[in-house]
Amino acid sequence: MTQHLVSRLLLCLIFLVSVNIQSQISFDAKVSKKRLGLNERLRVDFVMNENGDDFTPPPFTNFQIVSGPQQSVSRSWVNGVRSFSKTYTYFLTPKRKGKVTLGQAVIVIKGEVYKTLPIPLEVTSAVEKPNDPNNIDYITDQNIRLVAEISNTQPYLNEGITVLYKLYFRNPISISDVQELESPSYGDFWSHLIKIGQVRVNTRGEYKGEPFNEVVWRKVVLYPQKTGKLDIEPLSLNLSLSVPSDRRDLFGRRILTQGQKTISAGRRVINVKSLPEKNKPTDYTGAVGSFDFDVIIDKNALKASESFQAKIKVKGKGNLKLFNLPSINVPNTLEVYEPEHSENVKISLSGMEGTIEDTYTIVPKYQGKYPIPPVQFSYFDPKTSNYKTLRSQDLLVDVFEGPLAGSNTNQEKVETKQIISTKENSFRFIQLDTQLFPIKKNKFWLSLNFFILLVLPIGLLLIVIFIKRFILKQTTDSANNKQKQSQRLASKYLSSAKKAFHDQVIFYEALERALHNYLKAKLKIETTEMSKEKIERLLLDKKVNGQSAINFIVVIENCELARYAPDSSVSIKGDYQKAISVIASIDRQL
């Protein structure tokens, strides 16, 4: 009996000790390192074992905030013992060298104020290669690249080159949004941007022999217009990233850490070579590439005063838009009009390719046979580094049935005069005597038609005003009333949610209804039957930025979590403030 009593007392003592240990509240600050270089990043975690409100971070006087705060929650039950952890994470960069102190953070847990201990840190000079496996920037630096691939870094003047901007990334990184921060202007080049259309991800890409996901972000064809070293300005992108952390949520899923990353392809330099002066043709006009040349006439026999067309045609691959075609030379007895220029050129990754033409209209004045002298065209071939000259074939035009060249066309013509006899009554059909009639009195003034035309515009104006003011306004007011009603409902539920801080279930039900009614008011759609993915996609289609859309979905997920897991620890005031903030942000953007 005594032994049984002792065992029961021991069990009670163990239970009291476990309850006492479990009831202890902790709030600590943890840093990734206490000694870091001026160019390194510092990760700071503020961890608590009970849910708290009104978190106040320390004044980061000697640091610059790179990202944060990022909030994560972890819950578990092991052998009937509940475990809870909530963390606020910041990523910082130091502003100066020397010994600095990370100040105290403050939070309220169960009505009590808790503070972290100050942490002394030492900031040294910049290190040669900073790394921190816990830092999102370190993870992204190892798993993401933006590369400018140039087809030829030593082209000739006016030789086409291609620049491909490729984005490489791999697990564990996923990219949700990409925005261009800085776009190259290509000032020393003739440039053409090739449209890509829908961006596609190649999951079998490769970078420096390692597998990566590959995205071709931009394609540009460039033709250098100067010689020497030319800069290709960098392309900079701002990426919205998601990186999985080691923490898991209530349902066992990995918690994603959201972050922003700016990457750049870097400035590139190409060395443009001058065209050689040796063996340079005197008629060279700047063509660089590989071409065919011909002169074509549409008629070789015609009458004088008729016209025919001579077409100078260049076909091939090269800088087709950047040089002039040679002109045609014909005898003085042929009248030549200004040529009509036409282009049929396609621009792809291999450069310009197609046909350019100058079409001359020519009119002969006299009959005879006229030779069309050959036309010469020269170009530079960068593949062989030599100039090439092409000549057209000899052409002959036969003009017949017209005046002969050298004949006197100004001979006086003999005109025979003929005496015309007229009869006395030849012009009797012309009325010679005038007959005048008095103008009838104007009966329109102050008549019935006068008053009808006077009143009709005023009546039409009154009818238009009536339609606009009473009929169209009723339709507009009906739509506006529905929108205002939904806005009042959103305000009503937010107000109801504020009053229900004491009841978790009622608060989150009212908050979720307010969010849906807000979208109903702004977008005029029903969102209660939509999934969170469709709502997020809908907000992005309305030009809402990715972070605001994500924050909106996070609040909805918190509402669902609190409703379906009432025992979970949530931050009611934090979610309420977050709902107000995200509604205000989306409202400004819409």
pLDDT at 418: 46
- pLDDT band for 419, please (50, 70, 90 cuts): very low
- The pLDDT tens digits for 512-524 are 888 878 777 777 7
The predicted pLDDT at position 162 comes to 95
Predicted confidence at residue 243, as pLDDT, reads 79
Look at residue 217 and tell me whether its pLDDT is greater than 60.
yes
Q: How confident is the model at residue 262 (pLDDT cuts 50, 70, 90)?
A: confident
pLDDT of the residue at 491: 64
Q: Is the peptide bond preceding residue 172 cis, with omega within 30 degrees of 0?
A: yes
Domain with CATH 1.20.120 in the chain: 472-589
pLDDT at 147 over 80: yes
- Residue that is written with structure tokens 């070293």 in the block: 229
**Which of 27-36, 370-379, 388-397, 524-533 is predicted least confidently?**
524-533
Burial grade of 43 (CB within 10 A; 0-12, 13-18, 19 or more): buried
pLDDT of 55 reads 87
The 10s digit of each residue's pLDDT in 237-257 is: 888 888 776 677 677 676 777
> What backbone torsions phi and psi does residue 128 show, to the nearest 5 degrees?
-70, -40
Q: Is the pLDDT of residue 309 over 70?
A: yes
**How far apart (Å, rounded) are the C-alpha atoms in residues 475 and 486?**
17
More confident residue, 440 or 395: 395
8 Å CB contact between 34 and 120: yes
The reported pLDDT for the residue numbered 322 is: 92
User: What CA–CA distance (Å, rounded) separates 346 from 353?
Assistant: 5
Which pLDDT value is given to residue 18? 47
Say if residues 256 and 242 touch (Cβ distance below 8 Å). Answer: yes
Q: How confident is the model at residue 475 (pLDDT cuts 50, 70, 90)?
A: low
| Location of each CATH 2.60.40.740 domain in the chain | 23-132, 289-400
**Residue 426 clears pLDDT 60, i.e. is over it:** no
Rounded CA separation 487/481 (Å): 10
Residue 178's pLDDT is 87
**Most confident by average pLDDT, 313-317, 427-431, 503-507:** 313-317
CA 354, CA 315: separation in Å to the nearest integer?
6
Between 414 and 142, the more confident residue is 142
The pTM score is 0.49
pLDDT at position 189: 93
Percentage of the chain modeled with pLDDT above 90: 24
Model confidence at 21: pLDDT above 70: no
**pLDDT exceeds 80 at position 424:** no
Kindly report the average pLDDT of the chain as a whole number. Answer: 80
Q: Which residues contact 465 (CB under 8 A, 6 or more apart)?
A: none
pLDDT band at 230 (very low <50, low <70, confident <90, very high): very high
The string of DSSP codes covering 205-251 is EEETTEEEEEEEEEEEEEEE-S-EEEEEPPPEEEEEEEEEEEEE-TT
- pLDDT value, residue 407: 58
- In angstroms, what CA-CA distances link 469 with 256, 458, 461, 479? 55, 16, 12, 15
3-state secondary structure of 101: strand
Give me the mean pLDDT over the 80-84 stretch: 74
Architecture of domain 289-400: Sandwich (2.60)
Which pair of structure tokens corresponds to residue 39?
């160019």
Q: Where does the pLDDT of residue 578 fall: very low under 50, low under 70, confident under 90, or very high at 90 and above? A: confident
CATH 1.20.120 fits 472-589, yes or no: yes
Q: Is the pLDDT of residue 498 over 80?
A: no
CA nearest neighbour of 394 among 329, 341, 450: 329
Mean pLDDT confidence for 394-401: 88
pLDDT at 2: 58
User: Which amino acid, residue 389?
Assistant: T
Do 517 and 544 touch, CB atoms closer than 8 A? no
Q: What is the rounded distance in angstroms from the CA atom of residue 314 to the CA atom of residue 292?
A: 6
The encoded tokens of residue 122 equal: 């030492």
What is each CA distance from 301 to 339, 399, 535, in whole angstroms? 21, 6, 73
Higher pLDDT, 419 or 515: 515
- Topology of domain 138-272, CATH: Immunoglobulin-like (2.60.40)
Comparing CA positions, the residue from 490, 486, 508, 518 lying closest to residue 568 is 508
Per-residue pLDDT, 296: 93
Q: What CATH number is given for 23-132 in this structure?
A: 2.60.40.740
Identify which of 92, 83, 99 has the alpha carbon closest to the alpha carbon of residue 46.
Answer: 92
The answer on pLDDT for 416 being more than 50 is no
- Give me the pLDDT at residue 581, please: 80
What pLDDT does 527 receive? 65
Higher pLDDT, 232 or 543: 232
Confidence class for position 22, pLDDT limits 50, 70, 90? very low
Buried b (16+ CB within 10 A) or exposed e, 148-182: bebeeeebbbbbbbbbbbbbbbbeebebbeeeeee
pLDDT of residue 165: 93
pLDDT grade for 133, boundaries at 50, 70 and 90: low
Question: Predicted confidence band at 10 (pLDDT cuts at 50, 70, 90)?
Answer: low
Three-state DSSP state, 406:
coil
Is 360 exposed, middle or buried, given 0-12, 13-18 or 19+ CB atoms closer than 10 A? Answer: buried
- Res 202: pLDDT: 85
Angstrom distance (rounded) from CA 185 to CA 233: 7
Residue whose pair of structure tokens reads 């708290």 in the numeric block = 52
Write the pLDDT tens digit of every residue in 287-301. 999 999 999 999 888
Length of the chain: 590
**pLDDT at 412 (0 to 100):** 39
